[in-house]
Amino acid sequence: MNENTKKHLRDFIRDKISTDLTEGINDFIVTRFPPEPNGYLHIGHAKSICLNFGVAEEFGGRCNLRFDDTNPTKEEQIYIDSIIKDVNWLGYDSESNIHYTSDYFEQLYEWATFLVNKKLAYVDDLTPEEIRNYRGTLTKPGTESPFRNRSAEENADLLERMRAGEFKDGEKSLRAKIDMASPNINLRDPVLYRILSKAHPRTGDTWKIYPMYDFAHGQSDAIEDVTHSLCTLEFEDHRPLYEWFLENLPVLSKPRQYEFSRLNLSHTVLSKRKLIKLVEDNFVLGWDDPRMPTIAGMRRRGVPPTAIKDFIERIGVTKSDGIVEMSYLDNTIREHLNQTSLRRMAVLDPLKVIIDNFPEDLEDKLEAINNPNDESAGTREISFSREIYIERSDFLEDPPNKYFRLAPGKEVRLRYAYLVTCTKVIKDSNGKILEVHCLYDPESRGGNAPDGRKVKGTIHWVSAQYSNKANVNLYKNLFNSEMPDTGEDWLDNINQDSLEVRENCYIEKCLTNSTAGETVQFERLGYFCLDSSSEINNIVFNRTVSLRDTWTKKTSKVN
């Protein structure tokens, strides 16, 4: 999709920004993507990334990458690094405009003392458990803390001593003085600062207290002159708090928060807690396991970033939460790869075919088209020989009607090579087919017979002599159920067959020059790319996504 044909994206957020611009409420749009560096980015984050960076691009504004690093107990530098890499890979500038909430710790602290002096915040001695009990429930109002009415002077002193590290974790906290009876629980004197004796990845040991999300986010937006703070639906209840801080603090700009629904994808999980579980308990091989819905996993699987962006654009931005079918993502990936990927041949379940009337020592070099959708991709040479491999599923001794492949006495086209007819089947004592013998039509070089006879079936093949061996990883959905995320037994839904390793595959010679990340099509099979672990003596390919297959769909329906 080039600039001219690219459709104009429209949704309630872009509509709002449009009118804000035309009505002069803003003259420059600033958004931000605010990940907490406590895990790898996944496809759900991609939605937020594409929205925030996309909107900034479309309206000529700016999008800040801001690490929301207010909780050192969970955050790590490796996550910061991975996030920068992933955002960049998606095609957005993640390096020249990086911000950290921790850069604002001093300012945030100053604002905390400001609230203390205005008697809008107080130091509470209640323990976390007591605070919970005092908070009330969804239907019962909370109770005010006995420490709620300390003097500004005492609070200022206590806050200073909290910062100085005079108290143990959990011993005291700073709370906003709002309304313990509010029907919105977020307004029942939310905690602003907690004591955490934990070194921070960036600020080290300089802080003993750390701001909570609610006290940090809106103010950070204000500091960065963010105009539209776009977040997911679960923060809707926090908006009154977000605004409360902006109204009661001497901030210089007034960002506005807008909420959209987060992405739910079928047959996978998209919560960081669950993804961490999959990694740490070795249900997958790591954050970048190709079965993971992480950006890193999809990259390793061979998914192009443009396909991810396109998918995000297709599903739209709304406030209604639904679940998008994984097949929709797969389909979008296929669509992109179909246009761009080079065609190659590989056999993943080899069955040897011997062409009895083909010269024994001849290496017949044939011409094959690299990409029928892109003439500029040109052609390549592939070597044909007397012994070749075909897919075991492309031969049937007793084929059903309309089986357009190889069978005894039947003729089939070997793609870009010759027409061959099966003459003999060799089996072992158990009846397993060991090899198949054929005769070829020497006049059919390239695939067409001079007499013009029609041969319906075309199958792929690889020369036994002029080829390389490889391992191929075939991936399926990580979860069997459509919505594994519901319920405590989500791990029971894991698909035990999500990874199938084919160790005896043959690939055409030129595939040895592949590089990781360059996805090619194995004709009639699907899209594949070299795995990052691949070595010259141990070539490994990953299946990105299969080709659509109406044949097996049709035959399995009959059964």
Partner RNA sequence: UGGGGCGUAGCCAAGUGGUAAGGCAUCGGGUUUUGAUCCCGUGUACCGUAGGUUCGAAUCCUACCGCCCCAGCCA
Of residues 252-281, which lie at the interface with RNA (CB under 7 A)?
Answer: 261
Instruction: Kindly state the smallest distance separating residue 263's Cβ from RNA, in Å.
Output: 9
78, 164, 323, 362: which one contacts RNA (CB under 7 A)? 323
The residue count for binding RNA (CB under 7 A) is 91
19, 151, 184, 533: which one contacts RNA (CB under 7 A)? 184
| DSSP β-ladder status, 411-414 and 419-427 | antiparallel
DSSP state of 287: T
Answer yes or no whether residue 405 interacts with RNA by CB under 7 A.
yes
98, 156, 185, 276: which one contacts RNA (CB under 7 A)? 185
How far is 432 from 64, CA to CA, in rounded Å? Answer: 62
How far is 381 from 358, CA to CA, in rounded Å? Answer: 19
Is 262 labeled as catalytic in the residue annotation?
yes
Q: Which of residues 515-534 bind RNA (CB under 7 A)?
A: 521, 523-524
Choose, from 14, 66, 272, 299, the residue flagged as catalytic: 272
Choices 16-24, 285-293, 355-363, 546-554; region in contact with RNA by CB under 7 A: 546-554
89, 114, 213, 283: which one contacts RNA (CB under 7 A)? 213
Q: Which of residues 186-205 bind RNA (CB under 7 A)?
A: 186, 190-191, 194-195
Under a CB-based contact definition with an 8 Å cutoff, are residues 139 and 128 in contact?
A: no
At residue 507, the 3 state secondary structure works out as strand
Answer yes or no whether residue 20 interacts with RNA by CB under 7 A.
no
318, 379, 465, 504: which one contacts RNA (CB under 7 A)? 318
Residues 6+ apart with CB under 8 A from 287: 39, 40, 82, 275, 279, 294, 296, 297
Nearest residue (CB) to RNA, 124 versus 508: 124
Choices 108-116, 167-175, 375-383, 500-508; region in contact with RNA by CB under 7 A: 167-175
Establish how many alpha carbons lie within 13 A of residue 348's alpha carbon, considering only the half-sphere containing its beta carbon.
Answer: 21
458, 480, 481, 532: which one contacts RNA (CB under 7 A)? 458
Q: Which of residues 217-236 bind RNA (CB under 7 A)?
A: 217, 233-236
For the chain, helix (H) and strand (E) counts, in that order, are: 13, 25
How many residues comprise the chain? 559
At residue 386, the 3 state secondary structure works out as coil
Q: Which of residues 64-123 bind RNA (CB under 7 A)?
A: 68, 70-71, 73-74
Choose, from 16, 36, 387, 482, the residue flagged as catalytic: 36
Beta bridge partners of 468: 507
- C-alpha dihedral, 431 to 433 to 434 to 438, nearest 10°: 130
Single-letter amino acid, residue 155: N
Answer yes or no whether residue 131 interacts with RNA by CB under 7 A.
yes
Instruction: Kindly state the smallest distance separating residue 194's Cβ from RNA, in Å.
Output: 3
97, 98, 170, 439: which one contacts RNA (CB under 7 A)? 170
Residues 6+ apart with CB under 8 A from 39: 79, 272, 275, 276, 287
Give first-to-last CA distance, the chain, whole Å: 41
Under a CB-based contact definition with an 8 Å cutoff, are residues 465 and 363 in contact?
A: yes
Nearest residue (CB) to RNA, 53 versus 67: 67
As given in the structure block, the two tokens for residue 246 are 């902006």
10, 118, 254, 427: which one contacts RNA (CB under 7 A)? 10
Choose, from 85, 148, 262, 352, the residue flagged as catalytic: 262
Q: Tell me which residues are annotated as active site.
A: 36, 262, 272
